[in-house]
Structure 1
């Protein structure tokens, strides 16, 4: 079978199954069985499929994923994250748009603690939205900052998806985690600037109201008691990697221990919080591992059938410049994000993208950061952006996907601007990893 026939069968068949509504993991498994039967010799191929599937999830590099997830779950269910928001709230007083600014500031801090975009968005939606609605904020001033800041957890370390991307694409996981820190903080500053601009253009979007700033002593106490201790978690995850004292796996374990320690100190480490955290972590981790089983084997079949090599040769025949090729890859991620989840996008594109990264001489860490930003954008693109559904779930009854997507649009433009800056100035992402190496 020619390479384009194999590619049409595997990729086209997978997309067709997903369009029919088949769960992602089952769709991968079904098309893999067809693929190995055709390309790898019938039942012998099935045996090889099982062996490859086992190998794909027994990787030590995947250990940080459940550890980062349990960090976020514990922070949410023990109420430690809410303490951070309450402390920051005391600092802002009655400035116009206070709650929108608080969403970005608190959400960015929580992003450095949780590693999960879904957890970040759900936390911001449930804690910030009721008060913003009560105060008369317009819907786009409520949902836009929540959606945008929720997605920051995908790029700011610790990021579960960055660990998966690094593991699957054979990119230095520690370098990739650290590389997202500066772009993530720049993006947060862009969001604050955008909120300021929106308020200037439409003052009624965030009505002013009487809210006295807390006394200096109370602010200092809140920051010292509720915010400063979270630095232990940030140091355990980011600091240990920066100093070269721990691998990403070890830092994830220290981060989880730090959250457990803080929850115990605050008296919030209840059996109910532990149960809910473990249950949430188990559900998400199991889903990820099942998809990894199917999609890793999928990429192996693509390579075995010659489809991967054919697609790469086809792409390079166009003789595009490096920046045009990067733009094409980013556009593909965006388009796939309209219909697929982020893990599936990675599994589908990495077997084709990573050889092109080497061929065009892109720095793998820099490309990884750009890919994470593309995946972050895909979370907020209709019709199937995952964070859009999370937002609709926590929003008032009657809120539509269209309303949420429209609120997210200006923040999507901020992310696109950051991608452009990274393309022109790669050192924005590469400075910190280079500092560690030196």
Structure 2
């Protein structure tokens, strides 16, 4: 079988099983088992081929799933769940709200500042969008804010959870692509903060050109003592956990796995100090982290087996030879891969996209001579944009679920587009100035 026939055979089976309504992870596993029996089964009876192929596939994939490098994933997820269910998130968000005072378009800026902090601490784009959507959209509409000023900042900041550590998705991407997890986590800091800055500029511009989009209203002023109290007791303790997680990785004090455990312990200690840690919050946090971790491990197992099949069948090497034969500039190939991710984002969730593209894109990027950490940041940005790509971006439907009943999908699409534009501007800046992503990892080395 030619390489392109093997590629179409494997991808076709996956798409067929997904079309039948199978969950993505199960569709990949089913296609991988059939592919393993065909490509790795050797000669003999059908039962022998299936047994030999699946055994070979399991031997290749199990070391990936049991790798110690995956330890940050459940720890970061548990950290975010505890932060959410103990009410620490709401406490910090309320403090940011009070500190903004009478700033024009105040609630939009509160959303960006609070949303960035919450997305960073929780590591969950969907959790951040759900919380901010339920808290802020009704309040903003009651204050006369236009829908795009209420919905857009929430959709934008929800995606920051992918870039700014601790990011479970970045850990998964680094594991699948066999990259340095610590380097990728650190590489996302500056782009993530820059993206938040672009959101601030966008909201400021929209407020200046259309003052009626965010009407001013009276806010009860608070004194400097109260401001200081909010900063010291409700903001610094939460933010210090993230800073601590980042610094211990940067200075080589701890591995990403150890720093994730440190961050999780820090959130638990804070919850105890604020007397908000209950058995109910612990049970809900563990259940939430367990569900996502199990799904992530299935995804990783499917990706590992898919990568092994692509390599064994010759599809990977054939695809790389075919792509490089066009003699296109590496940047052109990068833009093609970026466009493919955006299109896939209209129909697939982020884990499924990673499962499908990482085994193909990263070997190709390495062949083209691209820095893989820098390329991974670009991929994370593409995943962030695809979260809000119409018509089927996942955050669009999360927002629809928590918005007031009169909010239409068209309102949500219109609100998302300018913030997608900010992310695309950041991608252009990363291509022009790769040091934006590579400076901090180089400094830590």
TM-score above 0.5, yes or no: yes
Tell me the residue number matched to 2:163. Answer: 155
What CA deviation, in whole Å up to 9, does each residue of 1:82-111 have, x standing for no partner?
A: 111111111112222111100100111123
> Which of the numbers 167, 170, 176 marks the counterpart of 2:175?
167
| Structure 2: runs of 5+ lacking an equivalent | 42-48
Q: CA RMSD in A?
A: 1.4
Tell me the residue number matched to 1:416. Answer: 424
> Which of the numbers 166, 171, 178 marks the counterpart of 2:186?
178
What CA deviation, in whole Å up to 9, does each residue of 1:322-380 have, x standing for no partner?
A: 11011111111111111111112112112221222222211111111111000111111
Matches within 5 A, 1:15-34: 15-34=15-34
Matches within 5 A, 1:148-297: 148-297=156-305
Matched, 1:65 2:73: yes
Distance 1:359 1:172 in 2: 18
What CA deviation, in whole Å up to 9, does each residue of 1:215-243 have, x standing for no partner?
A: 11111111111011113312331111122
**Contact 1:392-1:401 within 8 A present in 2 as well:** yes
Distance 1:399 1:19 in 2: 30
How far has the Cα of 1:405 moved from its partner?
2.1
Distance 2:221 2:179 in 1: 46
> Which of the numbers 385, 392, 396 marks the counterpart of 1:384?
392
Distance 1:271 1:9 in 2: 50
For residue 380 of structure 1, give the secondary structure of its aligned residue in structure 2: coil
Report the more deviating stretch, 191-200 or 356-365: 356-365
Distance 1:227 1:266 in 2: 13
Matched, 1:9 2:9: yes
How far has the Cα of 1:398 moved from its partner?
4.6
Distance 2:134 2:292 in 1: 20
The number of residue pairs the alignment matches comes to 437
Tell me the residue number matched to 2:375. Answer: 367
Tell me the residue number matched to 1:356. Answer: 364
**Contact 2:57-2:308 within 8 A present in 1 as well:** no
What CA deviation, in whole Å up to 9, does each residue of 1:286-314 have, x standing for no partner?
A: 11111222222112111111111111111
What CA deviation, in whole Å up to 9, does each residue of 1:13-61 have, x standing for no partner?
A: 2123324432101111121122112111122102223333433311111
Distance 1:424 1:52 in 2: 39
**Contact 1:117-1:153 within 8 A present in 2 as well:** yes
How far has the Cα of 1:129 moved from its partner?
2.0
Distance 2:409 2:63 in 1: 39
**Contact 1:92-1:213 within 8 A present in 2 as well:** no
**Contact 2:65-2:297 within 8 A present in 1 as well:** yes
CA separation of 1:402 and 1:37: change in aligned 2, threshold 3 A:
farther
What CA deviation, in whole Å up to 9, does each residue of 1:188-226 have, x standing for no partner?
A: 010011001111222111111111331111111111110
TM-score if structure 2 supplies the norm length? 0.95
**Contact 2:176-2:300 within 8 A present in 1 as well:** no
Distance 1:292 1:188 in 2: 30
Distance 1:198 1:435 in 2: 37
Matches within 5 A, 1:394-409: 394-409=402-417
TM-score if structure 1 supplies the norm length? 0.97
**Contact 1:75-1:81 within 8 A present in 2 as well:** yes
Distance 2:304 2:400 in 1: 32
| Structure 1: runs of 5+ lacking an equivalent | none
> Which of the numbers 117, 120, 123 marks the counterpart of 1:115?
123
What CA deviation, in whole Å up to 9, does each residue of 1:380-429 have, x standing for no partner?
A: 11232111121111112253433212211000000000000000000011
Distance 2:289 2:310 in 1: 31
Distance 2:180 2:260 in 1: 15
**Contact 1:7-1:302 within 8 A present in 2 as well:** yes
